[in-house]
């Protein structure tokens, strides 16, 4: 319901209008305009209809109570964003290091970390300038329907692919863990150790209740536990480096081969600082996938208590720095354990037979990926609601869409034998769009008339050019290797 308002309202009147300090909050549709020092701050909203509508919303706040403050603490927000960053890609970082060398890997990891933080900064500036707290709505306001569809496609492809990769880990790893606990051989089969049945049971027994929660902030506790599981994984990787000798000898290796292995030990177990080979092309995509969390940034931002751009940037900085430390330590100690023999899935190189510690860490990784699924699922579901313009919370729609999406995802996990054919192309394009191209293009469009921000425009232009160059170089190489060798690219 619209209140009468003067048609000739100028922008300066809107900017000078004071509002209560607790108006620094968002409405049900997740639109958002920061309120700093009692003034509305949104330069991008320029047309009169938008100004009238925005101002009326603030004037009607006390009557309609449409603006709801964020309730998630900074610490819980850090847990949620860190959990969104952390993915199955951590298992492939040691392999990436083996194919780039220590120095080149450190440079790439550091570069991707800072580029991702810069990308988050661009996204937060765009959100502040437009007043949008939903990625799809941000794309629509800046580029219209086309922008909305591009954002929707990129976020859904990335998050759905990540969810599928997590459930594939459950499907493949959980049966082995159960067999070991039962004392059964790997060849043992029963319906209760069928990976397809187990993934359905886990989905509807654990993941579904978490996905039915109304607010993302509640997942801060499960996110914290998930991260602790991955910290345990890191500790075991470090411990195994000092327990296992290099090279790893196979159980059935003959004595005649031992001497040959010993001769090769000096070359095999030497760290390499810079390496170039056919697998080096996968290093940058692997690192990019490992840091993709952009679809979850705005939902986490919208629920941040006492939110502001500076406060959310602090959340991002802490999360990325923590993940940088975890990623680097996991990669370096995994590499120093197996060197050139490291597998694309680090867990597969550890012999879990009769090793309770390795079994425990496998279970910890399974738990971690299970608890990560709801965080990504929230983003996929909110994207669908935004596309359908369902901005008001409806319990029936909330439950129905959750069930349907989980059923579709489980069918894909059950009936698709391998996801490498999809991840190889979709992963590269979606990660590149979300990290480089979308944030920079949105930012450039918003500030294209601001002459005072020429250095920022140059920086964003170079950032977008880097993303385009990354696409032009990596996609053809990945497709070529995918077609002719069938190798797998590690997903996020």
Please write down the HEC assignment for all residues of 204-240: HHHHHHHHCCCCHHHHHHHHHHHHHHHHHHHHHHHHH
pTM: 0.73
What are the CA-CA distances from residue 406 to residues 3, 241, 442 (Å)?
A: 43, 39, 32
DSSP state of 433: I
What number of CA atoms fall less than 13 Å from residue 354's CA on the CB side?
1
User: Scanning the structure block, which residue is given the tokens 């938008």?
Assistant: 50
| 3-state SS assignment for residue 489 | coil
User: Scanning the structure block, which residue is given the tokens 């919208």?
Assistant: 302
Residue 247: is the preceding peptide bond cis (ω within 30°)?
Answer: yes
Dist. CA 90–CA 365, nearest whole Å = 11
Distance of CA 134 to the CA centre of its chain: 16
Residues β-bridged to residue 39: 18, 36
3-state SS of 147-169 is HHHHHHHHHHHHHHHHHHHHHHH
- For residue 205, what pLDDT is reported? 93
Dist. CA 41–CA 36, nearest whole Å = 7
Structure tokens at 81: 């964003």
> Is residue 14 within a helix (H) or strand (E), and if so which, with residue range?
helix 11-16
Dist. CA 439–CA 466, nearest whole Å = 13
For residues 89 and 368, the answer to whether their CB atoms sit within 8 Å is no
Residues β-bridged to residue 72: 304
Dist. CA 215–CA 366, nearest whole Å = 24
Architecture per CATH, 72-250+274-484: Up-down Bundle (1.20)
For the chain, list residues with pLDDT below 70: 1-68, 88, 186, 217, 246-268, 278, 282, 351-354, 417-428, 477-492
Dist. CA 425–CA 317, nearest whole Å = 29
Pick from 226, 155, 168, 196: nearest CA to 377? 155
Neighbours of 111 (CB within 10 A): 13
To 10 degrees, the CA torsion angle through 214, 116, 98, 229?
-30
Distance of CA 262 to the CA centre of its chain: 42
Distance of CA 82 to the CA centre of its chain: 8
pLDDT tens profile 342-364: 877 787 777 666 678 888 888 88
Torsional sign, CA 295, 297, 299, 302: negative
Pick from 373, 372, 392, 393: nearest CA to 323? 372
Distance of CA 43 to the CA centre of its chain: 30
For residues 122 and 443, the answer to whether their CB atoms sit within 8 Å is yes
What number of CA atoms fall less than 13 Å from residue 37's CA on the CB side?
3
φ/ψ bin of 221: left (φ > 0), alpha (ψ from -120 to 50), beta (otherwise): alpha
- For residue 15, what pLDDT is reported? 42
What are the CA-CA distances from residue 93 to residues 149, 243, 371 (Å)?
A: 32, 21, 21
| 3-state SS assignment for residue 139 | helix
User: Scanning the structure block, which residue is given the tokens 């195994």?
Assistant: 240
Neighbours of 380 (CB within 10 A): 23
Phi and psi at residue 19, in whole multiples of 5°?
A: -135, 165
- For residue 407, what pLDDT is reported? 93
Neighbours of 182 (CB within 10 A): 12
Residues near 394 by Cβ (< 8 Å), separated by ≥ 6? none
- For residue 410, what pLDDT is reported? 92
- For residue 404, what pLDDT is reported? 92
Burial of 333 (0-12, 13-18, 19+ CB in 10 A): buried
Phi and psi at residue 190, in whole multiples of 5°?
A: -155, 165
- For residue 395, what pLDDT is reported? 85
């Amino acid at each position: 319901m619209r209140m009468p308002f003067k048609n000739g309202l100028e922008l300066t009147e809107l900017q000078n209008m004071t509002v209560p300090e607790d108006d620094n909050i968002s409405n049900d549709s997740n639109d958002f305009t920061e309120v700093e020092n009692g003034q509305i701050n949104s330069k991008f909203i320029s047309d009169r209809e938008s100004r009238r509508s925005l101002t009326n919303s603030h004037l009607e706040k006390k009557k309609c109570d449409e603006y709801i403050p964020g309730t998630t603490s900074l610490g819980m927000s850090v847990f949620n964003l860190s959990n969104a960053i952390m993915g199955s890609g951590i298992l492939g970082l040691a392999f990436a290091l083996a194919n780039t060398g220590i120095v080149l890997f450190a440079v790439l990891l550091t570069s991707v970390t800072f580029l991702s933080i810069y990308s988050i900064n661009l996204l937060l500036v765009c959100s502040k300038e437009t007043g949008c707290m939903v990625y799809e709505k941000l794309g629509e306001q800046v580029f219209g329907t086309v922008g909305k569809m591009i954002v929707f496609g990129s976020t859904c492809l990335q998050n759905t692919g990540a969810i599928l990769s997590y459930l594939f880990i459950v499907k493949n790893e959980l049966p082995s863990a159960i067999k070991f606990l039962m004392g059964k051989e790997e060849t043992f089969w029963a319906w209760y150790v069928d990976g397809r049945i187990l993934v359905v049971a886990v989905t509807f027994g654990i993941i579904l209740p978490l996905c039915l929660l109304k607010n993302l902030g509640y997942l801060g506790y499960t996110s914290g536990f998930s991260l602790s599981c991955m910290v345990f994984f890191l500790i075991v990787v470090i411990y195994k480096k000092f327990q296992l000798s290099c090279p790893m000898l196979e159980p059935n290796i003959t004595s005649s081969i031992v001497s040959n292995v010993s001769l090769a030990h000096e070359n095999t177990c030497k760290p390499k600082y810079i390496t170039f080979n056919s697998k080096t092309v996968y290093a940058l995509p692997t690192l990019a996938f490992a840091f993709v969390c952009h679809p979850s940034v705005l939902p986490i931002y919208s629920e941040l208590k006492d939110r502001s751009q500076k406060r959310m940037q602090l959340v991002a900085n802490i999360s990325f720095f923590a993940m940088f430390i975890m990623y680097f330590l996991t990669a370096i100690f995994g590499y120093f354990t197996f060197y050139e023999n490291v597998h694309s899935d680090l867990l597969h190189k550890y012999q879990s037979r009769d090793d309770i510690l390795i079994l425990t860490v496998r279970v910890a990784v399974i738990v971690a990926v299970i608890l990560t699924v709801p965080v990504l699922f929230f983003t996929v579901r909110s994207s669908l609601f935004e596309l359908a313009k369902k901005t008001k919370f409806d319990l029936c729609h909330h439950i129905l869409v959750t069930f349907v999406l989980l059923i579709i995802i489980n069918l894909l996990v059950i009936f698709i034998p391998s996801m490498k054919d999809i991840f190889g192309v979709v992963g590269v394009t979606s990660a590149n769009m979300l990290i480089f191209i979308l944030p920079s293009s949105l930012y450039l469009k918003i500030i294209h008339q601001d002459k005072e921000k020429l250095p920022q425009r140059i920086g964003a232009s170079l950032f977008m050019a880097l993303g385009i160059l990354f696409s032009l170089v990596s996609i053809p190489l990945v497709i070529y290797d995918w077609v002719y060798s069938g190798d797998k690219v590690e997903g996020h």
